[in-house]
Chains A and B, each alone.
Chain A
Amino acid sequence: MYVIIMGCGRVGARLARLLTEAGHEVLVLDVNSHAFWRLGADFKGRTMVGNGIDQDVLRRAGIERADAFAAVTQGDNRNIMAAQMAKYIFRVPRVVTRIYDPIRQDTYAALGLRAISPTVLGAEAILQALLAEPTQEE
């Protein structure tokens, strides 16, 4: 697959490495070129500096032939806008977006956007761990 990842933070960089290691073609987009250090020197994919909510930038990144698009910047609204452009304008078959705010995640999931909220998932995982029976050592 050809995958475009918008946002080279911890999640974006890790996702990019996982995908290239699995043999996928990857382009990572970030507004700040310094962010690409997270990918490591041996990163096999491509990087591009640019704002993913600009359709000219998305075109230059090759979105018209992309099989998948992940919006994982720090900004919920930026992710939401880029993901909708990818899905409804460029018709990318697989679009996933990260939305921290659970209410916005809910709103856009209802609209048909594949939205993942680390807040909801994180709280749920921590809750389960807290409620689990303590192990012997503890």
Chain B
Amino acid sequence: MYAIVAGGGKVGFYLAKELAERGEEVLVIEKDPKRCTYITEELGNVVLNGDAAEASVLAEAGAARADVIAAVTGDDEDNLVICQVAKLRFKAARTIARINNPKNAAVFRLLGIDATVSSTDVILSQLEQELPARSVIPLLRLRHADVEVVEAILPPNAPAIGRPLRELDLPRDCTISVVIRNGQPIFPNGDTRLAAGDEVIALTTPASEPRLRDLLLQPA
């Protein structure tokens, strides 16, 4: 695999290091010449000094033959433009952008970026697991399909509690995949009854998520 990493800060550096250690071909594009010297000393000749949002720099980096371009600078707007230029001018196979503002995930998706990663979101979902659940936690969004894997922990007064699953008015494009009860997974069928404290992992379209949330979390 050939990966271009745009941005040689801490995230870009360790990403490139991990990829190189796995034997993948990697190139870091970094604006700051001093930072480039440091990366070269640590990782060898894997750095290109330049602005990754410039088409000429991406051309020199061989963006057209890259399997993936990961834009991991500290600025959302730079990461967006790097990925878009890579897509539009070089038909990049796959683009991944790091984002700081989690709300930019939807914006980036709409603007053609294949995947986004937000450390803010990752930490937030870790925190939410410690808090009484008031929302379903998105775990994963499947690429190329509008399907999310979400998680919710049932509060004692959730409407879904007590009745068999088949009697619940679940939205059609939504499946409860697994229920974790006392640390044990239960693969549910129509007869399964949910209980307070159950950790429910479900597949749903974004459109059906509010209805699912109401069933799993709203006080009855």
Contact = CB atoms under 8 A, between A and B. Distances in A.
Is B one of A's binding partners?
A: yes
Contacts of A88: 110-111
B173 interface: no
A107 B55 CA distance: 9
B110 A54 contact: no
Contacts of B24: none
Q: Is the interface of B mostly helix, strand, loop or mixed?
A: helix
A89 B88 contact: no
Interface residues of B, number: 20
Nearest to A56: B103
Given A77-B53, A104-B53, A110 B88 contact: yes
B103 A55 contact: yes
Given A104-B85, A107-B85, A53 B56 contact: no
Contacts of B211: none
Interface residues of A, number: 21
Contacts of B88: 107, 110-111
A22 interface: no
B81 A76 contact: yes
Interface in A74-116: 75-78, 80-82, 84-85, 88-89, 101, 103-104, 107, 110-111
A80 B104 CA distance: 14
A76 B76 CA distance: 13
Interface in B58-79: 75-78
B55 A75 contact: no
B80 A77 contact: yes
A77 B81 contact: yes
Contacts of A81: 76-77, 80-81, 107
A127 B85 CA distance: 29
B110 A80 contact: no
B111 A84 contact: yes
Nearest to B80: A81
A76 B80 contact: no
Nearest to B88: A107
Nearest 6 CB-CB pairings of A with B: A81-B77, A77-B81, A77-B77, A78-B77, A103-B55, A77-B78
Interface of B: 53-56, 75-78, 80-81, 84-85, 88-89, 101, 103-104, 107, 110-111
Interface of A: 53-56, 75-78, 80-82, 84-85, 88-89, 101, 103-104, 107, 110-111
